A and B are shown apart, each in its own frame.
Chain A
């Protein structure tokens, strides 16, 4: 326990300079690209973090399954029984989950020279290097052995670049090219993409072209996220696989306020709480957030469940929707549990704004105030409607 306290103490001491650094970087974000100073992987792959990120990503099915350009766009019309349709919906949710699988955030892998043997006898046998690749079928890219025999007779494991190239040569990955696409090699082109707000396109291509442990991957993704933080087009990445890494990036680098503001403005209060909780978790801030999160979880369904319910509700014919309570809920867009959840989340968010961690306090306070007023109106309307229909107001 004392050890933990000691760690926290160190952490608080450490936070001061980092924040100063961040403020400095905020002044000229374009010049400085933020980097993960230590390995983010253990924090990122942690179950709790993953759950928070998934919940923040949401699962808006019409966004996950949006229209894309495909070689075959033929639609198939089928008969189905209710049972089959329900199974189909479950499958669709599985598919959506697969689509939303986040690319991992790991540290940059350093190239180390690993020599297997030095054979001076083979020196100048040839005036070129020889690369040997194990092309056994079914190996993982990282497990594939690639070794190089140098001109001076040294046999060593190939550097990462060569390894990637050989993998691409024998087992090409669709969409990955040998030459770096100009979009990534030339800043001018990347900047144009970013200015057009084609964030998802850039990130998708980045994920295909690079491995997550490459330096370029880190630098370009950081650049995209920083640009996004300025343009505030967060909604573009919502319900895509890049939302999680983006939120993680902001939480790690102490710049969640803009995203938080966007979430409050769009009435995604639970997500806002989760974002704050993530930031607390990453920086070991001594605030108890797990209780609030579990309370909220009890009140609100997970994104997957919500999506499945939405699908299943379309299955019911109009007569089955008849419950007046349901009708009121759909008219207002909120149920009783939502109002309760909002109250808990607002309390948590206000506590955050009041604390020293929030930077854009005035803006956030205003957003919260506006939301509160709207919520109050909705609540009054909700109760009024219930009364009018002769139901007990709880």
Chain B
């Protein structure tokens, strides 16, 4: 059919050009407009509608096995064709041959306008509404995790009470992923692996991974397992770590710095979550190398547990340990005095404490790269032009405050 159509159209184009060349219009027949289809095959004319529709909304069986199409359960698109048939529309008209038979008994049915059907529109809208709308899962901003409605970063409550009570505990998910194993009889088997951390915000913390075929079960298992693996972590001034330290696990290397009150947590989101759960409030951490989540967690915990107390460092090195407090205008507070005072070295060569606790590692501090336009002709001009406005903002603020 399609081939014939094409032949016809070519023949017509050909005859048109010939006629135009000869310039005579007397013998020309009127040309009716044709829709010309150049693509002969496409899935639109090969597949039935329901199959095309399924292709848009569903996932293939193989895809499903690989974990694709997680959103297939949700209604993404609406079938607007539902409730509409060809020949029936806004205007209630009888078209013989289209929506009515041509002959009924002995009568020939004519095209006829009927009174408008008011319910039709309402019926279609009702149909569309009943299909359900695609809606994002609403989460209170406080309950949100690291990203959208994903589980990592979200709180899943304290571990279940088994023998001991977990008052003031909170558990947060750090990782939630699908893992596969091969089974002898079932082949590739899919499970969910969840890594979560629990803690009381006051120095107690524990983490665990658990796997289960269901997300919910995996979450519960890992939460309860984390509750069984609590570790005590000493906090300095109940808010930070005792000293800077380096720690690593696998290819993950972490440099952690002690920070003053009010600094906050400037680090990887996983470390942030761990700190919040344990009760650390001020800290800076820089990860070098791999950011494998399980390795980050393990490395950070190892680092926290391997911190040395001031007294310990002082006893080993035989130096006094003092804190120079800038917020107290340079007040020097003694933090530890070596156990045996006789051994205190009298030489004035003192090792650097930062070097000591970082095990002779030097942290690479990169210089900020200046912007490319700095000292360019245009920028210099801009700076000179701006100079006379440099104090305006403060003056305006002052005036708005003092009304002068």
Contacts and interface: CB of A to CB of B under 8 A. Distances in A.
Interface of A: 61, 65-70, 72-85, 88-89, 92, 95, 99, 179, 182, 314-315, 317, 320
A189 to B, nearest CB: 12
A46 to B, nearest CB: 30
A68 B243 CA distance: 23
Given A74-B326, A75-B324, A315-B337, A92 B351 contact: no
B344 A75 contact: no
B404 interface: yes
A61 B331 contact: yes
Contacts of A95: 329-330
A72 B322 CA distance: 18
Interface in B274-331: 317, 319-331
- 9 smallest CB-CB distances across A and B, nearest first, come from A65-B331, A79-B319, A73-B327, A76-B324, A65-B328, A73-B260, A79-B350, A80-B320, A74-B260
Given A73-B261, A79-B317, A315 B334 contact: yes
A242 B253 CA distance: 53
Contacts of A99: 329
B217 interface: no
How many interface residues does chain B have, given as a range? 35 or more
Nearest to A83: B346
A28 to B, nearest CB: 32
Given A79-B351, A179-B404, A85 B320 contact: yes
Interface string B326-358: 111111101101010100111110111100100
Contacts of A179: 402, 404
B402 A182 contact: yes
A55 to B, nearest CB: 23
A75 to B, nearest CB: 5
B105 interface: no
A3 B226 CA distance: 92
Contacts of A320: 341
Nearest to B350: A79
A314 B322 CA distance: 12
Contacts of B356: 79
A227 to B, nearest CB: 25
B262 interface: yes
Contact of A81 (B332, B350, B352): B350
A88 B346 CA distance: 15
Contacts of A182: 402
Chain A contact residues, majority secondary structure:
mixed
A81 B347 contact: yes
B259 interface: yes
B282 to A, nearest CB: 10
Given A65-B325, A65-B330, A317-B339, 11 more contacts: A68-B327, A74-B260, A77-B335, A77-B353, A79-B317, A81-B320, A81-B345, A84-B350, A88-B322, A88-B332, A315-B320
Given A81-B344, A81-B347, A83-B346, A76 B329 contact: no
A78 B258 CA distance: 13
A75 B322 CA distance: 10
A92 B320 contact: no
Contacts of B326: 70, 72-76
A75 B346 contact: no
A75 B323 contact: yes
Contacts of B341: 82, 317, 320
A350 B350 CA distance: 56
Given A80-B322, A85-B322, A75 B350 contact: no
Nearest to A80: B320
Given A79-B319, A79-B353, A80-B319, A68 B328 contact: yes
A191 B172 CA distance: 52
Contact of B327 (A70, A77, A84, A314): A70
A51 B101 CA distance: 122
Contacts of A70: 326-327, 329
A317 B348 contact: no
5 contacts: A74-B259, A79-B319, A81-B346, A81-B347, A315-B320
A76 B323 contact: yes
A73 B261 CA distance: 8
Contacts of B322: 77-78, 80, 85, 88
B401 to A, nearest CB: 9
A80 B331 contact: no
Nearest to B340: A317
B260 A81 contact: no
Q: Which of B243, B328, B341, B351 counts the most A-chain CB atoms under 10 A from its CB?
A: B328
Interface string B250-266: 00000000111110000
B328 A66 contact: yes
Contacts of A67: 327-328
